[in-house]
Amino acid sequence: MKRRSFLTTATLASAGLTTMLITSCTSNSKKDEDVVPGTDSNTVFELDEETISSLRKKLNSGEYTSQQLVQLYLKRIESIDQNGAKLNSIIEINPEAIAIAVAMDKELKVGTNRGPLHGIPVLIKDNIDTADKMQTTAGSLAMVGNIASKDAFLVSKLREAGAIIIGKTNLSEWANFRSTQSSSGWSSRGGQSKNPYILDHNPCGSSAGSGVAVSANLCVVAIGTETDGSIVCPASVNGIVGIKPTVGLVSRSGIIPISKTQDTAGPMARTVSDAAILLGIIAGVDKDDDVTLESADKAKKDYTVFLDLNALKGKRIGIEKKLQGTNKNINLLLEDAINLLKKQGATIVEIEYIEKINALGQAEFEVLQYEFKDGLNNYLAISNAKVKNLSEVINFNNANEDSAMPYCKQETLESSNEKKGLNDPKYVESLIASFEGSKSILDTVFQENKLDAICGITMGPSCSIDVIYGDKWGSYSLTSPAAMSGYPHITVPCGQVYDLPIGLSFFGTPYSEGELIGLGYAYEQASQKRTKPSFKASFLS
């Protein structure tokens, strides 16, 4: 979950100041000292910008073995993540990664090919259970030592597909549901992750590490999770593709929860094609997650069939009539994107909906607090963690304040712990207002305007890292409509302002992932806006 306006009234109040400060710093000059040693354009990483498909060909031809791929990515992590730029996106390396790669190589040698992910290194977020030698901690020191007894359902799907989980990624602690003043991408266990484009800037969250790792070529693809913005925001500001699926398409069992209403896992990749491949592998019905039963006849085994260069032709795309903010550079990116959509055959329809959705923010926060307490207590009760409920997490943090809470505190954990059960009338009232209300607003807009998707700027550019006062995101954000309703959302690179990436969002009605992938792919291929990170040391250098 990314920083949300309902968590702090400072967000909207600071939007104008943020825009002013960003606008005043527009130098694009790059001196030698601006770039972190070992990360400039002369440093060649032989797997730079590789895709699942390109690596698949190299594995099948024998040019590489899976063991070699894993070793190369682990070396890249050591040189760029742990040293060099010190991106700090990886919280733990899988000590069994090379052994698993050797096993996958042996299978290929005898003619066993599990599919496109066979022998491909991936990373997953550290709130997803793995029954191996890695911990699952949500970045919290209170959870250190928690080694799951069972793989999360999606992890089982990855392993069955032959993917090699080479490690876990850092995240905003408790998926950014700990404090109203936290810095996205910071956790007490993992420290602060950095944006690979400008290292003193924020990677957004809560899937910060997954977004950074994919962007910086520390892996081919990664898994993130989202409650509100936690996939699409870090995808947007790290210059990659992110898909937040319909709630119910991907199982949540074995994932440390915030909200049973809004939580989902999803793919993060450098290309729409790779994201589509990964989505087809992790989607599926899980008997331990009842909401996935709704996807039984709606999930696709292969989302790559929707990769159509002409997917935008004849489509009706809704754009909010009121601009998200006043920054001329960002608005020019949106204008250029709209013109490209039109050129590709789409019809643009002006709509009004975002203010109605944003008005439901407080109701959403109420729902999340109730569901976080209920879901986390259920998870911890059967986990191998030393803390067995939310109260014990809070007590641990208080007892270890210097290490667990050196900057922001835990007011969101505390306010959630004060909530009653899910039969509380206030919870029911808030759920109706937030979940049903947002669906009603969006359904009306889609139906009355005969839309295929709604589009807009995903997020403004990354803000500066500030672990003391927390994130200061501007007014550009399109995460909440799809998050609150549980609808699908894809973000695709749209360009840069001030050397920082901006994403373009498409979201639609339930289980329209295939159609959104088509739209995103057509835009991606026509625009070609993905740019590799520059690893610039500082915004002002």
Residue 465: per-residue pLDDT: 98
| Cα 415 from chain centre | 25
Tell me: the pLDDT tens digits for 206-226?
999 999 999 999 999 999 999
Q: What would the mean pLDDT of 89-106 be, rounded to a whole number?
A: 98
Report whether pLDDT(445) > 50.
yes
pLDDT-above-70 percentage for the chain? 92
Between CA 69 and CA 78, with CA 73 as vertex, the angle to 5 degrees is 150
Residue 540: per-residue pLDDT: 83
Structural domain contains residue 108: yes
* Range of weakest confidence among 40-44, 152-156, 277-281, 468-472: 40-44
Please pick, among 5, 182, 206, 534, the residue that the annotation labels catalytic.
206
HSE-up of residue 225 (Cα within 13 Å, Cβ side): 35
Binned at pLDDT 50, 70 and 90, residue 43 comes out as: low
Sign of CA dihedral 254, 1, 136, 271: positive
Radius of gyration of the chain (CA): 21
Tell me: the pLDDT tens digits for 395-423?
999 999 999 999 999 999 999 999 999 99
Do the strands 221-226 and 264-269 form a parallel or antiparallel pair, or are they unpaired? antiparallel
Residue 32: per-residue pLDDT: 44
Active site includes 125? yes
Is cis: bond before 206, omega within 30 of 0?
A: yes
Looking at the DSSP bridge assignments, the partners of residue 289 are 286
* Range of weakest confidence among 32-36, 160-164, 418-422, 428-432: 32-36
* Range of weakest confidence among 42-46, 491-495, 510-514, 533-537: 42-46
180: left (phi over 0), alpha (psi -120 to 50) or beta: alpha
Residue 35: per-residue pLDDT: 58
Structural domain contains residue 54: no
pLDDT-above-90 percentage for the chain? 91
Structural domain contains residue 397: yes
The overall average pLDDT reported for the chain is 93
How far is it, in rounded angstroms, from Cα 496 to Cα 502?
A: 6
Instruction: Report how far apart the first and last C-alpha atoms of the chain are (Å, whole number).
Output: 31
Structural domain contains residue 293: no
Please pick, among 2, 5, 125, 215, the residue that the annotation labels catalytic.
125
Structural domain contains residue 336: yes
Structural domain contains residue 486: yes
How far is it, in rounded angstroms, from Cα 190 to Cα 161?
A: 29
Phi then psi dihedrals of residue 191, to 5 deg: 80, -160
Structural domain contains residue 537: no
Tell me: the pLDDT tens digits for 108-151?
999 999 999 999 999 999 999 999 999 999 999 999 999 999 99
Report whether pLDDT(17) > 70.
no
Report whether pLDDT(202) > 50.
yes
For position 157, which CATH number holds?
3.90.1300.10
Structural domain contains residue 509: yes
Q: What would the mean pLDDT of 294-306 be, rounded to a whole number?
A: 97
How far is it, in rounded angstroms, from Cα 469 to Cα 481?
A: 27
Phi then psi dihedrals of residue 444, to 5 deg: -65, -45
Report whether pLDDT(252) > 50.
yes
Report whether pLDDT(18) > 60.
no
Amino acid at site 518: G
> Any idea which residue has 């203010």 for tokens?
355
Domain enclosing residue 159, as ranges? 68-286+308-527
How far is it, in rounded angstroms, from Cα 227 to Cα 371?
A: 11
Please pick, among 156, 184, 230, 464, the residue that the annotation labels catalytic.
230
Do the strands 221-226 and 121-125 form a parallel or antiparallel pair, or are they unpaired? parallel
Active site includes 41? no
Domain total of the chain: 1
How far is it, in rounded angstroms, from Cα 341 to Cα 493?
A: 14
Q: Please enumerate in sequence order all residues whose Cβ is within 8 A of that of 95, keeping only pairs 6 or more positions apart, or say none.
A: 133, 134
Active site includes 388? no
Residue 38: per-residue pLDDT: 57
Q: Smallest Cα–Cα separation from 156: which of 136, 137, 129, 120?
A: 129
